[in-house]
């Protein structure tokens, strides 16, 4: 399993895709926060807050994480190496976890440089250190859970097809739906009596909760369960190849 994990991480770091995804993420975030005028620009807002980062990042992740994961299983199926992989002395869970961990490592690498934004705003504040540290670090943790959830969705999408473009489109749609779709459905008049239940099925409600700086066990359990669910149905998809 460790060998497979190293191979998957190496495939990201020795090819352009990992660096391109990380660069696009940092460039997009940097332009919105520091260059483009508007509501997201920190200097224009005049507040010592990284709230704009945590509003923009999920939407950028929706595009970039499916781009990271689209080749995970799709390429194996297209090249015919999936059968070879499944005959190795590895369980389906070990294969899925290895590919998941590799994708999650890329997410961590993408987020690490944004920590410097925290220290920059901390220094620029008047007075210095005038920033909600609890809410900021809680939001960073929420982004990690969010990124992990998108990785699990992307792996499932990649297992459905051997076409990487199709895997990307399906992954993006599912990420969008689970982040925003339940809020839209819950807001309909038809579902008003159970709107709270529907909102809590979506990722956004739990991500927003963590962004307040409170790490609630219910949110942590939700994200862990969400990841396990998509990894489980990815395993079922792999097993279905032998049916």
Distance separating the N- and C-terminal Cα atoms of the chain: 25
The predicted model gives 166-182 an average pLDDT of 92
CA distances from 98 to 6, 7, 153, 236 (A): 8, 9, 15, 16
For the chain, which residues make up each domain, given as ranges? 2-242
| 205 φψ region: left (φ > 0), alpha (ψ -120 to 50), beta (else) | alpha
Q: ω before 127 within 30° of 0 (cis)? A: yes
Contacts of 134 (CB under 8 A, 6+ apart): 213
Give 157's pLDDT tier (boundaries 50, 70, 90). Answer: very high
- Residues 154 and 157: their CA atoms lie apart, in Å, by 5
pLDDT in tens, 81-129: 777 777 777 788 888 888 899 889 888 988 888 888 888 777 766 666 6
Q: What are the structure tokens assigned to 130, written together?
A: 């005038």
pLDDT in tens, 44-57: 666 667 788 888 88
Give 153's pLDDT tier (boundaries 50, 70, 90). Answer: very high
What average pLDDT does the chain have? 83
Confidence check: pLDDT of 1 > 70: no
- Residues 44 and 218: their CA atoms lie apart, in Å, by 36
- Residues 97 and 155: their CA atoms lie apart, in Å, by 10
* The pLDDT value given to residue 126: 65
Please answer whether residues 163 and 240 qualify as being in contact, where contact means their C-beta atoms are separated by less than 8 angstroms. Answer: no
pLDDT in tens, 202-240: 998 899 888 777 778 889 999 999 999 999 999 998 888
CA distances from 82 to 43, 90, 162 (A): 50, 12, 10
- Residues 237 and 243: their CA atoms lie apart, in Å, by 10
């Amino acid at each position: 399993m460790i060998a497979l994990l190293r191979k998957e991480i190496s495939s990201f770091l020795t090819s352009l895709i990992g660096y391109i995804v990380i660069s696009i993420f940092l460039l997009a975030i940097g332009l919105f926060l520091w260059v483009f005028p508007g509501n997201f620009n920190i200097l224009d807002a005049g507040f010592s807050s990284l709230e704009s980062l945590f509003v923009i990042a999920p939407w950028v992740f929706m595009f970039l994480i499916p781009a990271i994961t689209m080749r995970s299983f799709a390429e194996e199926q297209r090249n015919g190496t999936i059968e070879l992989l499944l005959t190795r002395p590895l369980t389906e869970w070990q294969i899925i976890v290895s590919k998941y961990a590799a994708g999650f490592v890329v997410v961590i690498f993408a987020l690490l440089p944004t920590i410097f934004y925290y220290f920059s705003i901390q220094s620029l504040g008047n007075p210095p250190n005038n920033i909600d540290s609890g809410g900021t670090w809680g939001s960073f943790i929420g982004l990690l859970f969010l990124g992990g959830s998108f990785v699990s969705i992307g792996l499932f999408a990649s297992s459905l097809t051997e076409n990487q473009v199709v895997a990307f489109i399906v992954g993006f749609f599912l990420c969008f739906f689970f982040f925003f779709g339940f809020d839209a459905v819950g807001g309909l008049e038809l579902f008003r009596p159970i709107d709270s239940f529907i909102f809590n099925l979506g990722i956004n409600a739990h991500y927003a909760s963590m962004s307040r700086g409170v790490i609630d066990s219910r949110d942590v359990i939700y994200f862990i369960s969400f990841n396990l669910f998509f990894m489980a149905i990815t395993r079922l998809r792999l097993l279905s190849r032998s049916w």
